[in-house]
Amino acid sequence: MFQFPNHRPRSRLRRGPRGGRIGPSDGTERPGMGCYVYSRTTTSTWRVACASYGLEPQGIFNGPRFARIDCAPLHGIDFLSQRDVFLIRPVGRRIVRPAVSDRMLFVPRHALLVGSHGQMNEGSIFGKVELASFAGWRSGITQDLLRVLVRDGLREVAYAYLSTTVGQWLLKSTAVGTSIPSMRIDLLERLPFPDRSEIPADEISGLVLAAERARLDADKAESEAIRIIEEEVLPQWLA
């Protein structure tokens, strides 16, 4: 059972019938979708649902491995590594378009990207979360990044939640392997996820969307400044 720090469960939990609920050991069932966990503190009750509750069908996966062959800018596609996606200004490389389906190579703009391969030392990007709207949806994405497709209305909440200290540790708890850990998708799908009815979802969504718009505007302004230098200033200066 997942517990927030300093929260003590009121009763032991039991697993219900297949496809049923998780409820307290006193034999009573709570209404839910088959994956709710309840607990109580002295002042309030909280409820969390499995992560699969907030995902689209088959909404969490890694891409396939493929050869990365560099090519000239007028050919191929832009490609971003795991490190590139988490840069303030992503600068990828141009590669030959691999024989991979669009779904496995690109990601939709509303997706979340999670660093899912690598070391878990201080400063690493393992478990870090980014909105695909900042860069990923325009380029091919490495298989090292986990694609997370969240149901409508939950993207901003999921992004904020997974970016918290608790969310980061939960993501890291799914790591398997020794030298270069990876995340197990079946464990990710069972992570606890806040129930939308019990959190200020509208307020969280508004704040994340405002930050997203500001960052996209800043990126657009910076790109225009760089374009002016490259196309209008440098050609005359180097002539």
Q: What is the DSSP string of 98-138?
A: -S--HHHH---TT-EEEE-BS--STT--TT-EEEGGGTGGG
pLDDT tens string 42-58: 344 445 556 656 777 78
Mean pLDDT over all residues of the chain?
Answer: 78
Angle at 22 between CA 10 and CA 6, to 5 degrees: 35
pLDDT of residue 50: 61
Structure-block tokens of residue 61: 């996966």
Neighbours of 27 (CB within 10 A): 7
Q: Is the pLDDT of residue 235 over 80?
A: yes
Q: Distance between CA atoms of 37 and 78, rounded to whole angstroms?
A: 43
Q: Show the domains of the chain with their CATH numbers.
A: 58-191 (3.90.220.20)
CA distances 168 to 97, 171, 233, Å, are 33, 5, 45
Q: Which is nearest to 158 in space by CA: 130, 186, 179?
A: 130
The secondary structure element, H or E, covering residue 173 is none
User: Where is pLDDT greater, at 195 or 210?
Assistant: 210
pTM: 0.74
Query: What pLDDT sits at residue 36?
Result: 40
Q: What is the pLDDT of residue 129?
A: 94
The per-residue pLDDT for range 7-43, each reduced to its tens digit, is 444 434 344 344 433 333 333 333 333 344 444 433 4
